[in-house]
Structure 1
Amino acid sequence: MEQLNLSEAEWRQRLTPAQYHVLREAGTERAFSGHYDGNKADGVYRCAGCQLDLFDSDDKYDSGSGWPSFTKPVEPDRISEHRDTAHGMIRTEVRCARCDGHQGHVFPDGPPPIGLRYCINSVALDFRGREQTGED
């Protein structure tokens, strides 16, 4: 996959301050504050930094965590995983594979059969309804 490498000035120009904080500085939005946590529309969630399709609404579920949660990415190569030891915890950070934008974290407490919970910041995503994508 071709990488999107922009300067910090270019990222600041492209993103809102909230998007920049999450995607480029690995920030986190407050629980239950994001506009996609309760979204039940049919479609695809894309990286807000580069528009790469990351998650499908078919794999979204209500985890009760306050962030959009998914059981898997649309394709395994769309995300990269990194060890995160910030804040005195050991977690697995999830980033967009194209632009390296921080999305959130993946935890091993999701529903069967996969058992994973991709806990993603709404501000790191853009949503396109199925009617906008042209998919059935």
Structure 2
Amino acid sequence: MSERKVAKTDAEWRTELTPEQYAVCRCSATEPPFSGQWYRHKAAGTYVCAACRTGLFASEAKYDSGSGWPSYFQPLIRAAVSLHQDETHGMRRTEVRCAGCDSHLGHVFPDGPKPTGLRYCINSVALDFIPAPD
């Protein structure tokens, strides 16, 4: 993972992302539960940031949490994501952002499966998918 962050203006992000991607990635919105294209997705490959293509999660770490959003028990590599305290909406949560471009991805909770016990609850719209080679 490169230490260099993607730096773009707000106008550039608005041009490059769909309105839904912009709302989630740049404004920390949340897509409705059970609506995302990757929620029930089961193919082998890598989930990448929709904004900058940084590799975020391996399909092997994906599981069905029943939450309505794609869930993973760990990132592809720890340095792929950054964690931030989020006290919006009257809650205390840990926000997950892409380390490559600082896009909002979702939140992480301490109620996931072994081996980590974590649930990275991620918005589908913040992700893209690269299938594993055949």
Q: TM-score with structure 1 length normalisation?
A: 0.96
Q: Give the number of the structure whose residues are more often helix, by fraction.
A: 1
* Residue aligning to 1:36: 38
Task: From 112, 125, 128, give the equivalent of 1:126.
Answer: 128
2:57 partner SS:
strand
2:109 maps to 1:94: no
Residue aligning to 1:82: 84
Mapped pair 1:22 → 2:24: yes
Q: CA deviation at 1:63?
A: 0.2
Gaps of 5+ in 2: none
> In the alignment, which residue of structure 1 is the partner of 2:58?
56
- Give the corresponding residue for 2:115: 113
Alignment partners' CA distance in 1, 2:47 and 2:99: 14
Q: Deviations over 1:72-127 (max 9, x none)?
A: 00000010000000100000000000100000000000001210000000000000
What percentage of residue pairs aligned between the two structures are identical? Answer: 58
CA distance in 2, matches of 1:114, 1:94: 16
Secondary structure of residue in 2 paired with 1:119: strand
Structure 1 segments, 4+ long, off by >4 Å, are: none
Amino acid in structure 1 at the alignment position of 2:60: D
Unaligned runs of 5+ in 1: none
C-alpha RMSD of matched pairs (Å): 0.7
Question: Number of residues paired by the alignment?
Answer: 132
